Structure 1
Amino acid sequence: MDGKEPEMEFNLLDEPWIVVKTKANETKTWSILELFEHAHEAQELAGEIPTQDIAIMRLLLAIMHGAFVTENIETVDDAIELWTDLWKEKQFRFDEIKAYLEPYHDRFWLFHPTQPFYQSAHIQQNMDAYKIAKTKKETISSKSNWKTIARLAGDLFQSDNKQRLFPTRTGEAQKELTYPEAARWLLHLNGFDDNSAKMPTPKGTGYLGQLGLLYARGRNLFETLMLNFVLVDDRDEVFADGEENSKAYWEKPVCETIEREIPQPRAQKDLLTMQSRRIFLRREHNMVTGYLLTMGDYFAKDASLLNETMTVWIKNKFERFIPKIHRPAYQMWRDFSSLLCVKENTESKMPGVIYWLQLLDDNLEEIKPLNICAIGASYEQKSTAIQIVDYIQDSLVINASLLAKMNEIWIQEIINTLKKTEEAVDSLGDFAIDIKEASGDNLDGDDFAKKEKKKIKEKIKDFTREDGYYHLDQVFRNWLLCVDPNKDELEKRMEEWLFIAKRTLLQLAQEYLKQCSETAIVGRMKKDNEKNQIEIFSAIKSFQKFQYRIKNILG
């Protein structure tokens, strides 16, 4: 600080800092209390990037767990009854939320001499103490390694040493943030930081960056928060948010310890407000101009974090369930088997939020199209550093009736149908390789080293597969949205998709055929090793082979 700013400044409960989109498509900025009072009047959170919104959403959910869950919520029936009573009111019980937050008002100051929100006020002293303990020296040179906002603002997306080619901010906006902006990016940094915290060496990215995040979206912000207000785990045990020893960030003393391994929380409000990093914001002349950063809390490598409700789980090579990370440019519906898996699937576990929505089936009758959204950050290893290279956002709209347990057979049949679709798309990739060879590119001869031939084939197949899925993407989404187990006939619906997939892939293969060179159409002589004879190898014959394959697969 420069000595002029007040000790306590910008309280997040009272000051507007959360960006929302209203039903009139207007953008407004609300405080935490304003948001809970008017959530039913807003469409959604509308911050700079989706990962920022999910970080803020988790903060709001933690407040809901603190305000509404008591020790009286002991069983699944208790939890569903509480949720149903809140849902029926169509807006939050603002008085209860306000009464809950009132005793913690001082913990929500963005700037405070001892307990600034989501920050460590004594971070420099803690860093010095850590260095002394590590080097075993009596004194060290205390030097503040202030980072610029270029690493704090996720939409600016650049390092301190290398400028972005096409920045979203220019001029002074690249050097400073307003308090509302800084508050939003503070939550984002805590959850999605790469490994820029050099001391100590980070145990991976921020906690949220290690998840393939999923959430359910409602028709307004109230519904979205309620749909993700998960009170029960997949063993039908109530989360421990009503117990005395479960505490959100603002309910417990500030931890100044650098690098701390913590046990898996049983309560959601503990997990939703986990402090992956220790951060301290620098303010000058009513603007934030930099920050200090160190490692924070982390879980043991072998920790089972199945209490996390916002991610899909898959088994790793050690037969342990771990979060399944989203892949860039990989459509969400292709992971349908993990998203809505059935009990028989032992290789993955559905997200806790999906399991919870299954329990709420009767209450969701009014929300027929249910929107499941995927959010994440994509990281890459660059030299010794892990850096964010992109943000991931996708969604899948399904009929809420599919979540009913009586309709698990529908889920299984859709999964089986998608397996056939995947096999058909693989065949399209083989067809593309055949065309390449028919054009005269000898991928089987001695002209290429074996590794080079394999790489070329893999590239051709990967590109063609992605092209196939690109053409199937929208038609599958439209088909899935129309699936209604309460009205449709199972076999006819599955046959309908197989026909759509076959028609789409055949049309795409025909386009490939039209683009072939004359050489590929005429063909060339090639030895068939299986038949031990010379045959004409052409694009036309390859297309006929593809037709035969795809009809066998899709019917």
Structure 2
Amino acid sequence: MVPANKRVAKGKGQVAVKQLNRRISESGHTPSTFAPKTGEFKNEIDLDEFVRWIIMYQNYTGVTDKTKVENEEKFSNPAGWVYRLNPVYVQGKTLFETLMLNLVLVNQDQENPAIQRPVWEFESVLDYVAYRKRQALPDDLAGLYTAWSRILHIEWADKRHPIIFSAGIPMFSAEGARLEPMTTWRFDKKESLFRPAVKSLRSLSVAMWRNFGQYVKTNQDETTRQEPGLVGWLRKLKEDGLIPDNQILTLASVALVSDGNATSQSPAAEFADDLQLQANTLFDDSEMAERWPVRIEDTVTMTQKVGQDFYHFAADIGEIRNLVDTRSYASRLSAKFYASLNVPFKQWLAQLSGRDDRDEKINEWKRQLQELLRAAVQEIVRTSSSRDVIGIKDAKGRPMNIFTVRSRLSYQVRQDLDLKKE
């Protein structure tokens, strides 16, 4: 299946246990300094643990390996399927509740459910590889969830030191794979199609609530927004009376984030977050303009406008202080400001109910947001110097000091929060 010079007999295509073990993720060239194992023990593993890492490796494979099966068309070794997702799932109070809430029995996008065919039901590995060379997206969840990113050949030097040989196989496209219910989607305007949303190092600090509309339907326009299938399934359960109005639903997300390097895609960080909302808030069936998801999305947009205002304020302070990199300074303060919003906003979301006065609750958040902003600004003011007070001239020759930029921030925030109506 692989070129003659890449076959097992040649010793090519080996993957060390320390690379497969994602607690270590060490390549042959870059040692993992703070790994939980040292030296020769990094390649030592028990069978039960090895099986678990094999399953994870197939789903979170990087692209450092070069060996791949022979194919008429050229292809690059793919990353694991789950590695390319930013999934959402429901976290219940117990393991049983979690399993039941995530058990999507019917894919509402499929008229005729497909026959489930996991990888082990193929006649042979050769048959499976031939099927994968077609790069056809599976139409069944079993086929999708058990999809390999590599074919593996394993030999044993002894019972704790496996020798692993790996070869990449063509991967199907993730575009339009609406079969998978936990996938969150982003709309590619250039190609006019939906692609799975991917968590990156750049967006690592962006909490779930800031992308609220990515998880919950906030309007009827499905041309640029696609709700995860799992959330649609929960809506159906709610409509059928199987989820009480006042039940708290926890939407959670966990992702392994790559380093963003196209030639390695090695694990660099983990992301975990959640949102808690009452069922009658999440699936509010009021008039469209009054539906909580719509109002929450508007509130998120408003909050992020204030976040942008604070970023510009911080950038102005950096310019006044003649910092070398004002963008990095502003980004660092902006990230800290958003971090201060995460817990309060999630608490505000969790206490909303379908019986609430929408405007009153949103005004409560506005007042809290103002207090949090005031605290962030005050922290900067406390570190001000005479240079901040004296200031500089801006591009138009106008005075620019800590007082003028703070006044500009206050004005912009009043506009964004529409405080005149209060």
**Pairwise TM-score range, normalised by the shorter structure:** 0.7 to 0.9
Q: Judge conservation of contact 1:178–1:286 (CA < 8 Å) in 2.
A: yes
**2:335 maps to amino acid:** E
Aligned to 1:344: 221
Equivalent residue in structure 1 for 2:154, among 273, 277, 281: 281
Contact 1:261 1:300 (C-alpha < 8 Å) held by counterparts = no
Q: Distance in 2 between matches of 1:405 and 1:434?
A: 42
Deviations 1:457-511 (A, max 9, x none): 43233223212211111100111111111x3111111111122112211221121
Cα pair distance change 1:279/1:537, threshold 3 Å: same
The residue that corresponds to 1:92 in the other structure is none
Q: In structure 1, what is the equivalent of residue 178 of structure 2?
A: 306
Match of 2:346 among 473, 477, 488: 477
2:120 maps to 1:250: yes
Structure 1 match to 2:232: 355
1:378/1:514 CA distance change after superposition, 3 Å: same
Partner SS state of residue 156, structure 1 = coil
1:522 is the counterpart of 2:390: yes
The answer for the alignment partner of 1:320 in structure 2 is 193
Q: How many residues align?
A: 399
State which of 317, 333, 343 in structure 2 corresponds to 1:435. Answer: 317
Partner in structure 1 of residue 101 of structure 2:
227
Matches within 5 A, 1:110-509: 126-127=1-2, 130-131=3-4, 142-200=10-68, 202-235=76-109, 237=110, 240-241=113-114, 243=115, 246-256=116-126, 257=129, 260-300=133-173, 303-316=175-188, 317-326=190-199, 327-342=203-218, 343-344=220-221, 346-361=223-238, 362-365=241-244, 368-382=247-261, 384-404=263-283, 406=285, 409-439=291-321, 441=322, 456-485=325-354, 487-509=355-377
- Output the CA distance in 2 between the equivalents of 1:141 and 1:283: 15
Q: Which ranges in structure 2 are unaligned for 5 or more consecutive residues? A: 69-74
Contact 1:232 1:238 in 2 (8 A): no
| Secondary structure class of the residue paired with 2:375 | helix
Q: Contact between 2:157 and 2:163, CA under 8 Å: does it hold in 1?
A: no
Tell me how far apart the structure 2 counterparts of residues 396 and 239 of structure 1 sit (CA, whole Å): 33
State the shift of 1:396 in Å.
1.9
Alignment of 1:18-33 (within 5 A): none
Distance 2:395 2:412 in 1: 19
Take 1:402 and 1:140, find their aligned partners in 2: how far apart are those partners? 57
C-alpha contact (below 8 Å) 1:426/1:461 kept by paired residues: no
CA contact (8 A) 1:206 1:276 kept: yes
State the distance in 1 between where 2:63 and 2:164 align: 15
More strand by share: 1
Distance 1:209-1:367 versus aligned 2 partners, 3 A rule: farther
Give the equivalent residue in structure 1 for 2:415.
Answer: 552
Report Cα offsets for 1:341-361 as digits up to 9, x if no partner.
332253221111111111111
Which amino acid in the other structure matches residue 158 of structure 1?
A: E
Quick one: which amino acid aligns to residue 209 of structure 2?
Answer: W
3-state DSSP of counterpart to 2:340: helix
Alpha carbons of 1:464 and 1:321: their partners in 2 closer, same or farther (altered >3 Å)?
Answer: same
Alignment correspondent of 1:3: none
Q: Structure 1, residues 219-253: CA drift from partner, whole Å, max 9, x if none?
A: 12222122221133344x45625x3xx31223332
Matches within 5 A, 1:52-63: none
**Deviation string, structure 1 residues 39-76 (Cα, Å, up to 9, x no partner):** xxxxxxxxxxxxxxxxxxxxxxxxxxxxxxxxxxxxxx
3-state SS in 2 of match to 1:230 = coil
Shift of 1:153: 0.4
Cα offset for 1:405?
5.1
The 1:415/1:383 distance shift into structure 2, 3 A limit, reads closer
Conservation of the 8 A alpha-carbon contact between 2:46 and 2:159: yes
Q: How far apart are the structure 2 equivalents of 1:220 and 1:536?
A: 60
Cα RMSD for the two superposed structures: 2.6
Instruction: Work out which of the two has the higher radius of gyration on C-alpha atoms and give 1 or 2.
Output: 1
- The letter of the residue matching 2:283 is A
TM-score, reference length from structure 2: 0.86
Seen in structure 2, the aligned counterparts of structure 1 residues 222 and 249 have a Cα distance that, compared at 3 Å, is farther
After superposition, residues 11-90 of structure 1 pair within 5 angstroms as none
The percentage of aligned residue pairs carrying the same residue is 21
SS of 1:553 mapped into structure 2? helix
CA distance 1:194–1:547, change in 2 (3 Å)? same
Describe the shift of the 1:211–1:410 C-alpha distance in structure 2 as closer, same or farther (beyond 3 A).
same
Q: Secondary structure at the match of 2:166?
A: strand
- How much has 1:386 moved relative to structure 2? 3.0
Task: Give yes or no for contact 2:276–2:350 (8 Å, CA) kept in 1.
Answer: yes
Report the equivalent of 1:541: 404
Matched residue SS, 2:125: coil
| Cα distance in 1 for residues equivalent to 2:394 and 2:61 | 56
Distance, in Å, in 1 between the alignment partners of 2:46 and 2:330 is: 48
1:170, distance to aligned residue in structure 2 (A): 2.7
Opposite residue 341 of structure 1, the aligned amino acid is K
Find the aligned partners of 2:394 and 2:27 in 1 and give their Cα distance. Answer: 55
For structure 1, the 5+ residue unaligned runs are: 1-125, 444-452
Cα distance in structure 2, aligned partners of 1:436 and 1:392: 30
